[in-house]
């Protein structure tokens, strides 16, 4: 489909989810809400058992650092190719590998990998690999001395609030400044992240950038609480009896845990970078990958923390903003706002106000519903505890919409990427004509009905998981005599339904193609 913007620019748009799918999801939500209010609550449960992964349970990089190093070298090579293409290639985004690989493939596909691989991306991250090689001056193994000042991170920075700020800034650059359409700016942003990671490693002990600052790593860590895999001890009792804690301190040849975790006490994936240091240093070979019920960690395993709750709510708001900014009416909104406030150019102030409004609206409604839930409970627990506890329900809502939204980019905009790979700098290439965009739009990687079914299924699954989290987390806050009264959680259940309904509405609108 072709759309003509207010300034006369012709753009391709993706069709929205059909109304029949929307009605089906709304019916499912209504039935689920009725069940959630009437069914008895359960404060705890065992869920499905965990299964150690066959063949790769304690292999891959966990037992073979050479495989991990090989994967890092591949990622660094691709990263350097992106830098070269962005700095020295054509400024036409759809013809430059920097824009296509970064925004259409990696950024869109990363979120899908989290469900199946957890935080595996962090283990092969080229930003961290380059930072480590520059500071440690060693390709693999433990570096002594490690060439860092090894300072403690200031107390005011020992949280994920810095990562929230950087995530908002990254969103501003991506959607407000439009660096997705500028290969040169994309390359500069990638280099900036390497500089930040390197500076952090050179100043602070371990990998403070990975734990506190990296917006991508913290997004991966938050979503990893919903992943179907985890790196955990094989025998928990053996870890409990361990006195050396090599998983935390490392040994003569293996670096310590980069984010300061102790495997025997690990309950959530949030800060695990899947680097395999713990598995390589464990003298008992007691650490392996294993399957688990998706979402079980967010439902009952992870501990509520105030800063992590803020990150989860910010994720929910920013994923919704990603959808809004690609609607055909978004440009009209920004232009009307720009005329009202005297904005011009890329309309930075108009977009900033839109971004702020989205963050405040989602956070405000969430806080209001959490307050209403506390009022209904009632409980002597502080309001802050409610805010931190129920924030886990935001994860599946954001994750489901993030995947459903990105599915359009992956399936509809990645067709024909082989031609870009053959000419990564776009030498001599011309911008896409409308005919080429039409062909690219029609030659999808799968059928359109398959995309619609997958999007509807993801949104429905996200809502169901969110309801389970609200009920399980809510039961832990209720007093014993009120443990079976699910209606007391109605405000938070309505929040989950409201956000799902809004995301559903976004999916049903035509979406402008990115490149």
- Distance separating alpha carbons of residues 95 and 274, to the nearest angstrom: 34
pLDDT in tens, 451-496: 999 999 999 999 999 999 999 999 888 765 555 678 889 999 999 9
pLDDT score at 343 = 87
For residues 147 and 493, the model is more confident at: 493
Q: Which of left, alpha, beta for 150 (phi over 0: left; psi -120 to 50: alpha)?
A: left
Cβ atoms 294, 226 nearer than 8 A: yes
Residues 6+ apart with CB under 8 A from 90: 96, 183, 425, 426, 427, 429
Strands (E), 253-383: 287-291
pLDDT level of residue 59 (50, 70, 90 thresholds): very low
pLDDT at position 129 is 95
Tokens of 90: 């054509």
Contact (Cβ atoms closer than 8 angstroms) between residue 455 and residue 503: no
Helices (H), 65-207: 65-88, 97-99, 107-117, 120-123, 126-136, 161-171, 183-203
Residue 423 in this model has a pLDDT that exceeds 80: yes
Contact 223, 111 (CB under 8 A): yes
Burial pattern 380-406, b for ≥16 Cβ within 10 A else e, equals eeeeeebbbbbbbbbbbbbbbbbbbbb
Q: Measured between alpha carbons, how far is 83 from 89 in angstroms, rounded to an integer?
A: 10
15 — pLDDT class (breaks 50, 70, 90): confident
pLDDT of residue 48: 43
Structure tokens at 43: 């404060």
Model confidence pLDDT, tens digit, residues 176-186: 988 999 999 99
Predicted TM-score (pTM) of the model is 0.92
Q: Are strands 2-4 and 51-52 parallel, antiparallel or unpaired?
A: unpaired
Rounded to 10°, the helix 65-88/183-203 angle is 140
The CA–CA distances, whole Å, from 66 to 56, 60, 207, 379 equal: 15, 9, 21, 53
CA distances from 384 to 158, 161, 218, 388 (A): 19, 16, 22, 6
Distance CA 226, CA 118 (A): 8
């Amino acid at each position: 489909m072709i759309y003509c913007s207010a300034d006369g620019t012709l753009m391709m748009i993706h069709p929205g989810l059909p109304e029949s799918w929307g009605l089906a999801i709304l019916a499912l939500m209504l039935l689920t809400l009725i069940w959630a209010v009437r069914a008895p609550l359960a404060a705890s449960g065992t869920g499905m058992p965990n299964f150690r992964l066959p063949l790769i349970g304690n292999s891959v990089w966990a037992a073979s650092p050479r495989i991990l190093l090989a994967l890092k070298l591949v990622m660094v090579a691709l990263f350097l190719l992106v830098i070269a293409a962005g700095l020295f290639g054509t400024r036409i985004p759809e013809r430059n590998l920097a824009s296509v690989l970064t925004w259409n493939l990696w950024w869109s596909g990363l979120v899908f990998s989290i469900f199946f691989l957890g935080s595996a991306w962090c283990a092969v991250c080229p930003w961290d690999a380059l930072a480590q090689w520059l500071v440690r001056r060693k390709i693999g193994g433990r570096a002594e001395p490690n060439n860092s000042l090894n300072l403690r991170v200031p107390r005011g920075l020992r949280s994920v609030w810095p990562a929230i700020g950087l995530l908002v800034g990254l969103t501003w650059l991506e959607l407000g400044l439009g660096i997705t359409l500028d290969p040169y700016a994309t390359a500069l942003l990638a280099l900036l992240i390497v500089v930040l990671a390197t500076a952090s490693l050179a100043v602070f002990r371990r990998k403070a950038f990975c734990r506190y600052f990296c917006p991508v790593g913290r997004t991966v860590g938050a979503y990893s609480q919903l992943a179907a895999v985890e790196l955990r001890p094989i025998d928990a009792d053996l870890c409990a009896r361990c006195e050396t804690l090599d998983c935390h301190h490392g040994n003569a040849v293996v670096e310590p845990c980069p984010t300061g975790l102790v495997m025997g006490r690990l309950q959530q994936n949030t800060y695990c970078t899947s680097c395999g240091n713990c598995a390589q240093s464990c003298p008992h070979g007691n650490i392996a990958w294993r399957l688990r019920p998706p979402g079980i960690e967010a439902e009952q395993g992870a501990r509520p923390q105030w800063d992590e709750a803020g990150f989860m709510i910010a994720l929910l708001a920013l994923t919704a903003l990603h959808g809004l900014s690609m609607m055909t009416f978004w440009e009209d909104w920004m232009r009307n706002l720009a005329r009202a406030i005297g904005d011009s150019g890329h309309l930075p102030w108009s977009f900033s106000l839109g971004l702020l409004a989205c963050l405040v609206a989602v956070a405000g409604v969430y806080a209001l519903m959490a307050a209403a839930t506390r009022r209904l409970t009632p409980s002597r627990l502080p309001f802050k505890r409610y805010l931190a506890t129920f924030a886990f329900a935001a994860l599946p809502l954001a994750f489901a919409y993030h995947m459903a939204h990105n599915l359009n980019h992956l399936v509809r905009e990645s067709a024909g990427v082989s031609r870009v790979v053959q000419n990564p700098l776009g030498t001599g290439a011309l911008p896409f004509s409308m005919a080429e965009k039409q062909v690219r739009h029609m030659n999808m990687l799968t059928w359109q009905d398959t995309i619609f079914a997958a999007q509807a299924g993801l949104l429905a699954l996200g809502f169901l998981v969110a309801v389970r989290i609200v009920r399980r987390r809510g039961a832990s806050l209720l007093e014993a005599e009120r443990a079976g009264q699910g209606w007391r959680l109605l405000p938070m259940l309505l929040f989950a339904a409201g956000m799902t309904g809004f995301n559903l509405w976004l999916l049903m609108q035509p979406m402008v193609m990115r490149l």
